[in-house]
Structure 1
Amino acid sequence: MPTDSPLPTPEPEALQVSQQLLELVRQEINAGNGWLSFRRYMELALYAPGLGYYTAGSHKLGRGGDFITAPEVSPLFGRCIARQCAQVLERLGGGDILEFGAGTGILAVEILTTLEALDALPERYLILELSPDLRQRQQAAVADLPETLRHRVQWLDALPESGCFRGVMLGNEVLDAMPVQVFHWQDGEVLERGVVLGQRLEWADRPADETLTSTVRALHESTGGAWPSGYVSEINPGLSPWMRAAANSLVAGVIILVDYGYPRREYYSPERYRGTLIAHYRHRALDEPLVWPGVVDITANVDFTAVAEAGEAAGLSLLGYTSQAWFLMGSGLESAFQACQAQGLREQMDLAAQVRMLTLPGEMGERFQAMALGRGVSGPLMGFSGRDLIPRL
């Protein structure tokens, strides 16, 4: 747990919920002969009804929560996303926007406001949100919009039916929250990491099943076969089913995904021998994801090669892949920044700092990547016109 100071103790209510979730985890460990896959643990820790990180009603996003996302960093992020949406909707002759996991709702608000100014509003702005707490925050944010925008927003409990969606699907920091399997490469043997009960929750390995073993061996070979013994990393078995479901709904349009991650060879490089799994708590990064279940967020980086493969296997075309910095610049970041120059000096300085955080390599600019997959949309996309990183996949 690399922190500069002791971790602040969670509020009593949060600790109580965590204890209830821990009891649920104990029950599943006991039912599994003393072992629980990490993938199942992560699923419970994040999504157990009424107890998980995203379902228990705690304050999560923003400066007062555990982490901050690009829409909270700057309104310029949403304005650039809006410009890319406008281009796609124009080529389609209209359509909807569907946002997966809309966070605090600030991105939806910024996109709708910007599209209204561009005279490019979608027919509907749909939000698919699993967290009851975040859905309430989104509804509160949308409630402040003018009626002309507010009435376009609808919340969904599931994806639209097969072949029923036309437009843009957005996922900002969605894939990193999907439960992953953790594997351990030990002297050429593939082990799966799971959770057991000791004095606290602890890691424990067991031989991987045939599916995980074959997947990991294929990864090992495709990335150079140079992993040291003791190498640990993750795979996301839920990615392909998720992509198939999204593609099945999409009759025509584009899926735009922005997240932190790497192409496969970089993700599974020998130097990254501890994997990418991490927990977030009060704006601290913890390397121990088993602490305070339900209180800390748990994420893993995204293998963008796997995303591209899953999309193409689902019948989609890979339309672009680049860094967040280049995506934002291609989507009009400079013009969006210049449009704010009438503000005061302090506001301009704040905005310049926001641009640096969104685009600098040491901040979010290179660590976050953007990818577009779609069907029925012709021509290049503006957000991917500056630097093509597809060859790195």
Structure 2
Amino acid sequence: MLPGALLKRAIEAIRASGGWLPFDRFMALALYEPGLGYYANASPKFGHLPGGPEGSGSDFVTAPELTPLFGHTLARQVAQALQATGTDEVWEFGAGSGVLARQVMEGLDALSVPLRRYTIVDLSGDLRERQRATLRAHEARVTWADRLPEQLSGVLLGNEVLDAMPVQLLVRLAGQWHERGVVLDAAGGLAWADRPTELRPPLEVDGSHDYLTEIHPQAEAFVRTLAERWQRGAAFFIDYGFPETEYYHPQRHMGTLTCHRAHRRDDDPLADLGLKDITAHVNFTGIALTAQEAGLSVLGYTSQGRFLLNAGLLDLASQAGTRENALMQKLVNEHEMGELFKVLCLAPEACAAGWTPLGFATGDRTHRL
């Protein structure tokens, strides 16, 4: 029922847009259409086990779902940031199952760090209910919001959030740039169609070969909105991605757009609408430059593995069992999550001076953005 209802909605959107729907609008519909989109429906998403014959199970595992060592280590960084910026609130964007929120609050409690409020910003009503169940022991200080307030202060967290923001697709064909969108084929199904465009990647891509890539106006707009409303604190965005020179490398000619379902990847976002995740890697240079242009400061950028080791992961692992230590390796090993995932720290200029975030004490790569 769900794929058919969402497909019908997509067909309506294509017809309403004159027969050609830009991919970013299609991606927003596929992921966030109320009650039907992937993040707005009741299908399982996060966890260790893939979906079974009836679709039970999960589509992918995130770091906090893997081991509580992730969130407990991040809590050490959050504790330092709260103290350094004189704030007592945490805001988390796209909190998934709520496991990271629970781990961070557990970690702050273990460090005796006062936390007045933990606010989750999430558009999905179904995920909110899962978060409420996960966070029942902390419900006195947890609140939810579906949009940013006009003003906010606190430490901001976004784990695998930027990658889920809709992207525009650009494709160079025979030396000419086009924007890729979605149309209806002769049978009434979904198909790709390209239109000439003045849009370009932020870097010139060497060569004349055909080349598919993404640009990220919605993620950049999100950062600008934060800058307008955020008064004090520090933000930590953790996601898979690259600096600009790697993102738009001539050899990355098929882009980074991919789909996740039952712990498997595919490259067809037009199929199985609402039943799988659609995601693209993050251009961290674009995010950092947008932040700076909007008046924010970049306090650090490094790999997830280096960030966690700097923040005290090994100290916490020494107190954990064998299973957690084995899972911890996935967080830091270069061939697992340790190198592909990066951490970017931003702050309002008023909170940028006088401290160095723990996670960037060594191995900071800001100069490579």
Whether the TM-score (by the shorter chain) exceeds 0.5 is yes
TM-score band w.r.t. shorter chain: over 0.9
Contact 2:87–2:233 (CA under 8 A) maintained in structure 1: no
Aligned mates of 1:31, 1:127 — CA distance in 2: 34
Are 2:34 and 1:49 equivalent residues in the alignment?
yes
How far is 1:91 from its partner? Answer: 1.5
Aligned mates of 1:70, 1:246 — CA distance in 2: 25
Out of 155, 177, 202, which is 2:164 matched to?
Answer: 177
Structure 2 equivalent of residue 219 of structure 1: 203
Out of 230, 235, 245, which is 2:225 matched to?
Answer: 245
How far is 1:261 from its partner? Answer: 0.2
Counterpart AA for 2:256: T
Contact 1:227–1:273 (CA under 8 A) maintained in structure 2: no
Q: Which structure 2 segments of 5+ residues have no match?
A: 49-56
Contact 2:87–2:232 (CA under 8 A) maintained in structure 1: no
How far is 1:227 from its partner? Answer: 3.9
Question: Which residues in structure 2 correspond to 1:95-106 (within 5 Å)?
Answer: 95-106=88-99
Contact 1:319–1:374 (CA under 8 A) maintained in structure 2: yes
Counterpart AA for 1:369: K
How far is 1:287 from its partner? Answer: 1.3
Counterpart AA for 1:386: T
Q: Which structure 1 segments of 5+ residues have no match?
A: 1-15, 341-347
Structure 2 equivalent of residue 189 of structure 1: 176
How far is 1:273 from its partner? Answer: 0.3
Aligned mates of 1:94, 1:34 — CA distance in 2: 49
Distance 1:77 1:228, change over 3 A: farther
Aligned mates of 1:57, 1:319 — CA distance in 2: 37
Contact 2:302–2:366 (CA under 8 A) maintained in structure 1: yes
Question: Which residues in structure 2 correspond to 1:1-393 (within 5 Å)?
Answer: 16-63=1-48, 64-143=57-136, 145=137, 149-162=138-151, 165-198=152-185, 199=187, 200-208=189-197, 210=198, 212=199, 215-216=200-201, 218-220=202-204, 225-340=205-320, 348-375=321-348, 376-377=350-351, 378-393=354-369
Contact 1:125–1:153 (CA under 8 A) maintained in structure 2: yes
Distance 1:227 1:151, change over 3 A: farther
Counterpart AA for 1:193: R
Counterpart AA for 2:203: L
Aligned mates of 1:23, 1:192 — CA distance in 2: 23
Contact 2:163–2:239 (CA under 8 A) maintained in structure 1: yes
Identity rate, percent: 45
Aligned mates of 1:176, 1:93 — CA distance in 2: 30
How far is 1:75 from its partner? Answer: 0.3
How far is 1:278 from its partner? Answer: 0.2
Counterpart AA for 1:385: A
Counterpart AA for 1:42: M
Aligned mates of 2:292, 2:219 — CA distance in 1: 13
Counterpart AA for 1:184: V
Contact 1:142–1:150 (CA under 8 A) maintained in structure 2: yes
Contact 1:317–1:374 (CA under 8 A) maintained in structure 2: yes
How far is 1:391 from its partner? Answer: 1.7
The alignment partner of 2:154 has SS state of strand
Aligned mates of 2:46, 2:269 — CA distance in 1: 18
The alignment partner of 1:109 has SS state of helix
